[in-house]
A = this chain, B = another copy of it.
Amino acid sequence: MLSNACKYAIRSILYLAINSSEDNKIGVKIIAEELETPQPFLAKLLQQLTRDKLVSSTKGPNGGFYLNEKNLNNAVWDVIISIDGTDKFDNCFLGLAKCDDRNPCPVHFIVSPFKEKILGSFRDKTIEEYVVEIQNTNRVISLKDLDLFEDEGS
């Protein structure tokens, strides 16, 4: 439903929203390490997001990526549009040429409400609101540094 590229991009922008500011810019290297993503690939994605004015950047010493006030008011959906486009979301779960209520595939009415819900979240909430929610409800965008105990038998 989302490409790896897009997943990296979403987590990156949330990471920047949480950790960066105009006078605390962060380089790709750090971001890639923290999110455990391939560094040069992520660089490409951040460049793309910068071109689309979803993140801000400056070059040179103390340079790096960050989000300004305007960037914080964008939505996750904007990131998806920038990286993946909307197609993947609109497609039928079983590969029909069209996903719609009039000619529903066997799982359409399971998939469709989910899509509405997650699309709503991506589209109607700002990055800033996402951050508040992440912090209030202890959500994670990386598993680095977390104790991951394996599922032991019951």
Q: Which A positions have Cβ atoms within 8 angstroms of B?
A: 1-2, 4, 7-8, 10-11, 14, 36, 93-98, 103-108, 110-111, 114, 117-118, 121, 130, 133-134, 139-143, 146, 148
- CB-CB under 8 A from A93, the residues of chain B are 1-2, 7
Give the dominant DSSP class at A's interface: loop
Query: How many copies of this protein are present in the complex?
Result: 2
Closest to A96 in B: B143
Closest to A108 in B: B139
Contact A117 B110 (CB under 8 A): yes
Q: How far is the CB of A11 from chain B (nearest CB, A)?
A: 6
Are B107 and A8 in contact (CB-based, < 8 A)? Answer: no
